[in-house]
Amino acid sequence: MTTLWDTTGTAVVKALAAERRVSGAASGLVLTLVVVTDEAQVEATEQAATQAASQHPCRVLVVVRRQTAAPEPRLDAEVSIGGRLGPGEAVVMRMYGRLGLHAESVVLPLLASDAPVVTWWFGEPPDLIAHDPLGVLAGRRITDVQNLTDPRAGLIARAHDYSSGDTDLAWTRTTPWRSVLAGAYDAVTGRPTEARVVAEPSSPSAALLAAWLGGRLNLDVRIDDHRGPGIAEVHLQVDGGPGAEGTDISLVRDSEHSGRLARTGEPDRTMPLPRAEHGDLLAEELRRLEPDPVYAAALGRLAGLGDLADRAAIRSHIWRDPAEQAAAHG
């Protein structure tokens, strides 16, 4: 591990190359993961990135923006390979002052050559991804609206800002629910007549799940309130099947790991429904690097914008200076 205080981007590139020589590091890098976070959450970020990197070896670049108003720009960096940040290569960079607004100048030369770039905002996502140059240089962008005070509004904003290759962890959290429901639906034939999601009112995942079900089944899906956390129950009704009144499918979370699947005419089953941690969610996102059209469709329906899948994948940076904004507001 090499720690560099008050350094330059060039020195960080050199330190990484030196670490690679010493440790005989791998050439098999398949992607670079850029994580944007703040000082308070560095530890949680590192933990999640380490967990994901142990499944998908990648170069992890953690960018911590600090005190953007500080008068002197400054860069501190920590370079490690096969160290505390998992088996891969990791660089943790703290950027002070206006350097934070030009983080890409340090990050660009550190990207693994010709490998895909994934940017993940650990905390609040930017209002517009184009405002952050670290989002513009990535082919895949991961946000988490759960971290916003109003996650549902955050989702709408994501929909307006959507471009191919965006994804949100609120969507990733629905995967276990969607797998069990799709599996249960394999066994029924007939027309869907009703679908209902029961969840915490603010849950963005519930909204996405409902939008997905609605879009796929061509129904309006109601969301009933529950204290949560997150999604508690999903109920589907289909006409036809074993019962004369149709078939009911319901999936009710009964523990942190599992849910009870009940179907008309079938014995109840306990199905895996894990509440995944950040690292697992991130690992699922890194498994596939192509755009997710199913998410685009659900998000578009949720915001009433139609299918978003044909939005362009490339953004151009829109300059925004927080100092000017603060001045305008002040």
Rounded to the nearest angstrom, the gap between the alpha carbon of residue 224 and the centroid of all alpha carbons in its chain is 25
**Interface with other proteins, residue 67, by CB under 8 A:** no
DSSP 185-231: HHT--S-EEEEEEEE-TT-HHHHHHHHHHHHHHTS--EEEE---SSE
Give the three-state DSSP class for 124.
coil
Among 292, 299, 300, 301, binds other proteins (CB under 8 A): 292
**Interface with other proteins, residue 188, by CB under 8 A:** yes
Closest distance of CB 125 from other proteins, Å: 21
Closest distance of CB 216 from other proteins, Å: 5
The CA-atom distances, in angstroms, between 249 and each of 69, 177, 220, 253, 289 are: 55, 13, 17, 13, 33
Q: Which of residues 12-31 bind other proteins (CB under 8 A)?
A: 26-30
φ, ψ of residue 65 to 5 degrees: the values are: -95, 125
- In the complex with other proteins, which residue's Cβ is closer, 75 or 213? 213
Closest distance of CB 73 from other proteins, Å: 36
- In the complex with other proteins, which residue's Cβ is closer, 93 or 283? 283
**Interface with other proteins, residue 326, by CB under 8 A:** no
Closest distance of CB 55 from other proteins, Å: 5
φ, ψ of residue 42 to 5 degrees: the values are: -55, -45
Task: Identify which range of 2-10, 36-44, 150-158, 285-293 contacts other proteins by CB under 8 A.
Answer: 285-293
User: Six-digit token pair at 285?
Assistant: 């996102």
Composition of the chain by helix, strand, coil, percent to 5: 40, 25, 35
Per-residue binder mask for other proteins (CB under 8 A), 262-281, x = binder: -x--xx-xxxx---------
Among 114, 186, 220, 245, binds other proteins (CB under 8 A): 186
Q: Are 285 and 172 in contact (CB under 8 A)?
A: yes
The CA-atom distances, in angstroms, between 92 and each of 2, 32, 77, 150 are: 11, 13, 6, 30
Closest distance of CB 101 from other proteins, Å: 34
**Interface with other proteins, residue 185, by CB under 8 A:** yes
Among 201, 243, 293, 322, binds other proteins (CB under 8 A): 293
Closest distance of CB 188 from other proteins, Å: 6
**Interface with other proteins, residue 113, by CB under 8 A:** no
Q: Are 61 and 91 in contact (CB under 8 A)?
A: yes
**Interface with other proteins, residue 175, by CB under 8 A:** yes
Q: Are 63 and 33 in contact (CB under 8 A)?
A: no
- In the complex with other proteins, which residue's Cβ is closer, 187 or 326? 187
What's at 288, amino acid-wise?
A: R
Task: Identify which range of 14-22, 128-136, 148-156, 168-176 contacts other proteins by CB under 8 A.
Answer: 168-176
**Interface with other proteins, residue 165, by CB under 8 A:** no
Q: In what order do the strands lie in the sheet with 258-263?
A: 222-225, 192-199, 231-238, 247-253, 258-263, 266-272
Closest distance of CB 213 from other proteins, Å: 8
Q: Are 150 and 181 in contact (CB under 8 A)?
A: no
**Interface with other proteins, residue 206, by CB under 8 A:** no
Q: Which residues bind other proteins (CB under 8 A)?
A: 26-30, 54-57, 87, 172, 175-176, 178-189, 192, 213, 216-218, 255, 257-258, 261, 263, 266-267, 269-272, 283-284, 287-288, 290, 292-294
